[in-house]
Amino acid sequence: MPKIKAAIAGAAGYTGGELIRILLHHPDVEIAFAHSKSHAGHPVYRVHEDLRGETDLVFSDTFHPDPDVLFLCLGHGEAVKFLRENPPKSGVRIIDLSQDFRIRGSAGGEDFVYGLPELNREAIGAARSIANPGCFATAIQLGLLPLAKAGLLSEVHTTGITGSTGAGQGLSHTSHFSWRSGNIQAYKTLTHQHLLEIGQTLSQLQPLRAPQVHFVPWRGDFPRGIFISSQLDCSLSAEGLHALFEDFYHDHPFCLLSGDPIFMKQVVNTNKCMIQLEKHGHKLVVHSAIDNLLKGASGQAVQNMNLMFGLGETSGLQLKASYF
C-alpha cells in the first residue's frame, strides 16, 4: 500500500515541528513537503535542531497542490488566506490547526468537521476537512463531555495553566525566559477565544440547557503542558461519576481516568489526556491534563488523520512521557 503523502504549511513553528517529528516515524506516512516562506531553502534541522540526523527535508516556499493530506500550522487568520491563495486539488484532505474553521458559520466553517475524536469520531472518519480543536478547549472539554452527555452541566468554573509554547514561537515579553521564570499570570479572564468552541461542543451534547463555562487561564513558567481544574455542582455519587466517565471513554485510547492525583509530567510528550475526579459533598472537581502541542495540537491532528484514512487511531502516536 503506498504511503500517505503529507504536506505541512507553516512547518517552521512549534506545531509544524511536532508534526514533522511524529510523521517522520509514522509507518504509513511520508512528508511530501514542509512549507515555510521565511525559511525556504534551509534544511528543516536548522530550525528544529533536534531533528539533525533524522531528516534531510528542506523547507520550501512553493506549494504543491496534490498531497493526500494538508496540515495547516499557520497563525489564526492565515489558514483562510493560504487556502484562498493556494487552492489544493480536489480530493486533498485538510486538517487546520488554527481557529479559522472551528466555529460553525464562520470562514467557511460549515465544510469543516470539528476534530475532537472523543466527540466526533465517525464524522471525522468520513470528513474531507477537519478543524483541529484548540489546546485549552481540548483539555476542558475532555473533562466535561461525559457530564454534558448525561445532562449534568449547568454552570462550570474552570481554571487552567499552560506553558510558554502555547503562545507560539514568536517572541513576546510574556514568553521571554526572564519574564516567565518563577512567574504566573492570569490572562484573558472570562474572555478566552476557546470559550466559543467549548460552548458549541457542550451545546451539541446538551442542547436543551446550554451550560455556562467561566474560564480563567494562567500563563505558567514551564515550556509545555496544560493542567485544568473544573468545578461544578453535581449530585451524582463518586461511584456513579467514575462509572459514567469509564463508560464514555472505554473505547477512546488516549483518555485515561485515574483514581490517584494526576500531574502534568504524565502527559507531556504524549497524546494522552489524564482525568481525575474529586467529589466533596455536592461539589465535583474534574482535573484534566494534556500536552498542549500534542493532544492539544499536532498529536490530535495526526489522530484525526488516522481516522480520516482508516488507519489505527493510535498509529504513530505511541509516545513516551517526559517523566524525568
Kindly list the distances between the CA atom of residue 264 and the CA atoms of 42, 51, 221, 272, in Å, as whole numbers in the listed order: 35, 25, 13, 11
Query: In the chain, what are the helix, strand and coil shares in percent, each to the nearest 5?
Result: 30, 25, 45
Predicted local confidence at residue 63, as pLDDT? 87
* All domains in the chain, ordered by first residue: 4-132+297-308 (3.40.50.720), 135-290 (3.30.360.10)
Sheet-wide strand order for 4-9: 59-60, 29-35, 4-9, 69-72, 93-96, 129-131, 113-114
Question: How buried is residue 223: exposed, middle or buried, by Cβ count under 10 Å (0-12/13-18/19+)?
Answer: middle
- The DSSP secondary structure of 98-115, one letter per residue, reads SSTTSSTTSTTGGGSEE-
What is the C-alpha to C-alpha distance for residues 130 and 95, in angstroms, rounded to an integer? 5
Give one word for 111, left, alpha or beta, with left for phi > 0 and alpha for psi -120 to 50.
alpha
Q: What is the pLDDT, as a whole number, of residue 317?
A: 98
> Which position among 73, 135, 255, 273 bears the catalytic label?
135
Regions of the chain short of the pLDDT cut 70: 105-110, 167-171
Check if 135 is active-site. Answer: yes
The whole-number pLDDT of residue 180 equals 84
Helix runs in 63-154, H state only:
78-85, 117-125, 135-149
